[in-house]
Structure 1
Amino acid sequence: MSDWTAHLEQHGARLVDERHIEFGAQESAASARQQSLLAPLIHFAVLEIAGADAERFLQGQTSAQLKLADGNFAAPTSFCTAKGRMLANGQLLRVDEARFWLLLDASLLEPLRSHLAKFAVFYKVELTPRDDLAVLGLIGHDGPALVERRLDATAPTTWQQIALGGGVVLRHPGDLPRLVLCLPHDEAIGAWQNLARETLPVGNGVWQLHDIRAGLAWLEVSLQDSYLPQMFNWEALGGISFKKGCYTGQEVVARAHFRGQVKKRLARGRFEGDTLPEPGSAVSDADGKSRGDVVAAASDGDGRVEILAVMTTREVSEPLTVGGQRLEWLELPYPLERLDPEMLATSGG
């Protein structure tokens, strides 16, 4: 057990499994509109890509334009097969001239590292899981002010990064400010103690709920090699550069975009209940035919489950159901149109 894990348990955390952590009765606090929330994001991990050829290596592997990852803009990105199917999506940030961190779902850290290692042998680059880093999430209107007041750091704008000690602070999209702290364990303990004075500790399921409300889905290992990045609306979130050169899967991803061949899209919905569907669970139409797959699910704390699902763009016979529960569609918080990361980088998020 790490000092970081021991610290969380000493402060009331209960590890449900390797991907979920809770804080008991406080778990019903699914809204951060009255009080800022602080969550350990144990479902995230960091892969470090470092070396003299790190930028050149990544340029040929990822949908991000590497010159945009300049230490200020932390690019949303994806890694694909030659057929354009995602092996991982995440956020890529430059921590110094020849060192990058990739924030991604923890279940994909080793599979992606193993995949990239097959190509890394031809470059001066090392791929290192940063197990010494903890990932924290801060949600709420007061979040940016808390970072400035409690951690003496300037809060970044969306998809930007700010250095903090031996780590970084990031900001993810959402209707409320959502800040991500990637810090060495000892610094994470200090940051938690400072922030916890004015926040409510909650489990990472609350963060995942706010990801869903932001229309932001993170691939996990059971969904690998199944979806084009656009099926996760990744180009609408600035996660694909259509202005960069070749990378693995680029031809298929670009063709699907320019020829309008994306036949499935990420959609948001909810249903009554408290049982979370597993990733890959079917969304069925009125005839019982599968019309999509659940890719993310979280409880809203009020007896309902909210989901993101990759759905066919064709007309379907309603009502739609998930596990027998009738599904209600909710609006996405962004338009389904291309958002170039080049514009995001220059506009400050």
Structure 2
Amino acid sequence: MWTLFPSSSLRVTGADRVDFVQGQMTGDLRGAATPGLVACAFLNVRGQIEQFARAYKRADDVYLHLDAGQAAPLMARLKRYIIFDQVEVQDVSDTLHTVHVWEADGVPGWNADGPDAQSFELGGGVVLAGRVNRTGTPGLDLHYLARHEAEVLASLVGEEASLDTLDAARIRAGIPDIARDGFLGVLPQEVGLDVGGPLPAISYRKGCYVGQEIMARLEARGTTRYHLAQLAGDGWDVGADVTHAGKVVGQAGLNAGGLGLARLRKDLPESAEVEVGGTPARLQSLTART
């Protein structure tokens, strides 16, 4: 199966591209292989997520793949920090499209034993592929020129699955999508981005970056008040308050397939009765994972 994935993207070039992006993101781009793929977040000075991205480190550029609508604000942020750096930032959201292939062996040209990021010919052009887990089983994000879309999709094995179907699978697997779940503006550790979480995107051993001081404090303290949880139920909106005994105890993410992820207080009993936007919901066992 494959799913067209709404997204946006930036291409960073220039002699200082790796060091420049390294100084902004939570992941360790400098320590990655070339080609390589690093999940990361871009934080504000309070350590809260402004954007989530997957950074592809290549021989000639750094490609930043983001959720739809996220490229423009990240580009504006990066440009504010360019002083003497030899870098250029280009928004390529309209040029490149993305499809997620649920099983990597359905993509001709992909080397299962190769690196997490690979380029190869498919559908009459060169595609950039990244090993990405969006459903509980690693698949591939394929990034290709928009004008080649028909040929690329015709080269894929299996049928198209809707974005709703993909969301239901990732929520069932406990994998957050930071923008689609409405988790921007919170600490990475609260929504599964910490080391050992379902979507690790932080290195505590890399150099300084915006928000790094807060990350270091949280590492030293070893805990946050909130964590990622899974709720069973239907009918709520992204960002709806989760309440228990009349008090707000968290915020809910996207609801699909009768489940949703949520940022919930850790001191909430697993047997607690909660409501999401006034609708009864039930805590699932994911609360024990993170």
* TM norm structure 1: 0.73
2:55 matches 1:92: yes
1:230 matched residue in structure 2: 189
Q: Could you say if the C-alpha distance between residues 46 and 322 of structure 1 is closer, same or farther in structure 2, counting changes exceeding 3 Å?
A: same
1:167 matched residue in structure 2: 127
2:7 matches 1:40: no
- Residues 300-348 of structure 1, C-alpha deviations (whole Å, 9 max, x = no match): 2xxx2x2111111113582111133322223339943xxxxxxxxxxxx
* Secondary structure in 2 matching 1:172: strand
Q: Could you say if the C-alpha distance between residues 253 and 101 of structure 1 is closer, same or farther in structure 2, counting changes exceeding 3 Å?
A: same
**Equivalent runs, 1:172-321 vs 2, <5 Å:** 172-173=132-133, 174-195=135-156, 198-220=157-179, 223=182, 226-235=185-194, 236=197, 237-271=199-233, 273=234, 275=235, 277-285=236-244, 287-298=245-256, 300=257, 304=258, 306-316=259-269, 318-321=272-275
Q: Percent identity?
A: 24
Q: CA deviation at 1:121?
A: 4.1
Q: CA deviation at 1:107?
A: 2.4
Kindly provide the amino acid, as one letter, of the partner of residue 127 in structure 1. V
Q: CA deviation at 1:222?
A: 9.7
1:323 matched residue in structure 2: 277
* TM norm structure 2: 0.87
2:100 matched residue in structure 1: 137
2:36 matched residue in structure 1: 73
Distance in 2, matches of 1:330 and 1:255, equals 30
- Residues 249-302 of structure 1, C-alpha deviations (whole Å, 9 max, x = no match): 01101211221241111111221x3x3x332211111x222111113332x2xx
Aligned residues of 2:15 and 2:87 also touching (Cα < 8 A): yes
Q: CA deviation at 1:162?
A: 1.6
Kindly provide the amino acid, as one letter, of the partner of residue 3 in structure 2. A
Kindly provide the amino acid, as one letter, of the partner of residue 170 in structure 1. G
Aligned residues of 2:181 and 2:253 also touching (Cα < 8 A): no
* Secondary structure in 2 matching 1:171: strand
Q: CA deviation at 1:214?
A: 3.2
Distance in 2, matches of 1:190 and 1:118, equals 38
CA RMSD of aligned residues (A): 2.4
Kindly provide the amino acid, as one letter, of the partner of residue 172 in structure 1. V
Distance in 1, matches of 2:165 and 2:209, equals 35
Distance in 1, matches of 2:279 and 2:113, equals 40
Moved over 4 A (4+): 221-225
2:111 matched residue in structure 1: 154
Q: CA deviation at 1:224?
A: 7.2
Aligned residues of 2:25 and 2:41 also touching (Cα < 8 A): yes
Aligned residues of 1:80 and 1:88 also touching (Cα < 8 A): yes
Unpaired runs of at least 5, structure 1: 1-36, 337-349
Q: How many residues align?
A: 280
1:3 matched residue in structure 2: none
Q: CA deviation at 1:155?
A: 4.0
Unpaired runs of at least 5, structure 2: none
Q: Could you say if the C-alpha distance between residues 224 and 335 of structure 1 is closer, same or farther in structure 2, counting changes exceeding 3 Å?
A: closer
Q: CA deviation at 1:163?
A: 1.2
Distance in 2, matches of 1:94 and 1:321, equals 43
Kindly provide the amino acid, as one letter, of the partner of residue 322 in structure 1. V
Bigger drift between 231-240 and 169-178 goes to 169-178
Q: CA deviation at 1:246?
A: 0.9
Aligned residues of 2:136 and 2:175 also touching (Cα < 8 A): no
Distance in 2, matches of 1:334 and 1:92, equals 29
Kindly provide the amino acid, as one letter, of the partner of residue 178 in structure 2. L
Kindly provide the amino acid, as one letter, of the partner of residue 40 in structure 2. T
